Amino acid sequence: MTIYGYTRVSTSEQAANGDSLETQQKILMGYAHSKGEELTPDNIFVEAGVSV
């Protein structure tokens, strides 16, 4: 099964307060792993927002 993830920050404040795209990616990959799945960075869609 192929799975996908989605990360998003809409403001620089979100990125600075621990909601960074990298943090979200690690959380998604960890969750997938805990369910016995593999989520690769290539399968994570990133939306950085206009103001970041």
Q: Give me the amino acid identity at 40.
A: T
Residue 24 has what pLDDT? 93
Statement: residue 51 has pLDDT above 60: no
pTM above 0.75, yes or no: yes
Q: How far apart are CA 28 and CA 22, in angstroms?
A: 10
Q: Give me the amino acid identity at 37.
A: E
CB atoms closer than 10 angstroms to residue 12: 11
Per-residue pLDDT tens digits for 3-47: 999 999 887 777 677 778 899 999 999 999 999 999 999 999 999
Statement: residue 52 has pLDDT above 50: no
47 three-state secondary structure = strand
